[in-house]
Amino acid sequence: MRVEPIRTPLIEANPSFDKLLAAAMESCSEKSVLAVTSKVVAIIEGRIVSSETSMDELIARESSAYIPAEKNAYGVFLCIKFNRLIPNAGIDQSNANGNLVLLPSNPQEQAHAIRQYVIGKIGLTDFGVIITDSTTAPLRTGVTGICLAHAGFNALRDLVGQPDLYGRPLRFTKINIADALAAAAVLVMGESNERTPLAIMTELPDFVEFRADAPTDQELQDLTIDPKRDLYGQLIQYGPWVHSQGR
């Protein structure tokens, strides 16, 4: 697999997808996946607020549930946003020119729109898009990339029932292809002043299965796990959550 970061002009408030994606068009090809950082998608949507805005109010609005910041050592809210554990509901001050940048309002809709835009411009068939973010993992130092939304390929590879090297059927193994691609893309796109909010992934393994239609609601639901069934559910469902009205 080859992952190429793509440098763009500085993305300021309310530009069009034309300006953002122009730098990527020449690298997009059949059986490739374009990664786009959630921050530039949010900036295009105008999801920017003043840093003087109350963080408590923003988090209550943007997350479906949160644990208040005073509960941990870093003064950070632990939130459930888009069915993920994301600190501070993904609200970010880095590369925000003194403001706060929220996550996109509907990353899945934007992933589909970006895919349709690209294939409409250059006539691709087997082409995917992911909207990426970066977050922490419990008991690990540092951030890695995650996929907030995908389009154009199957996000899960189900190996349940297939034999391992010794013939033992796998009971639980499902590979999250979307998150794995996002981790690789975010690694090369960087986290600081690289100005490479796009990456194109080519020479992908054969098990990345491309498709023309959008993922169904059931397929998107299959990417999430109810806390009562989650392997880490004992840690998640009994936390001191404050439930709010966001997503």
The Cα 234–Cα 138 span in angstroms is: 14
pLDDT of residue 188: 96
Residue-level pLDDT at 203: 97
pLDDT at 91: 95
DSSP result, the chain: -EEEEE------SS--HHHHHTTTTTT--TTEEEEEEHHHHHHHHT-EEETTS-HHHHHHHH-SEEE-GGGSTT---EEEETTEEEEGGG-B-TTSTTEEEPPPS-HHHHHHHHHHHHHHHH--SSEEEEEEEEEE-TT--SEEEEEEEEESB-SEEE-TT-B-TTSPBPSS-EEEHHHHHHHHHHHHH-SSS----EEEEES--TT--B-SSPPPHHHHHHT---TTTSTTHHHHTTS--EE-S--
Residue ranges of the domains in the chain? 1-46+103-215, 48-102+225-247
Confidence at residue 209, expressed as pLDDT on a 0 to 100 scale: 97
CA distance 50 to 94: 13
Report the topology of domain 1-46+103-215.
60s Ribosomal Protein L30; Chain: A; (3.30.1330)
Give the pLDDT of residue 117: 94
Q: What is the pLDDT of residue 4?
A: 96
Which residues of the chain register pLDDT less than 50?
none
pLDDT at 169: 95
State the pTM of this model. Answer: 0.94
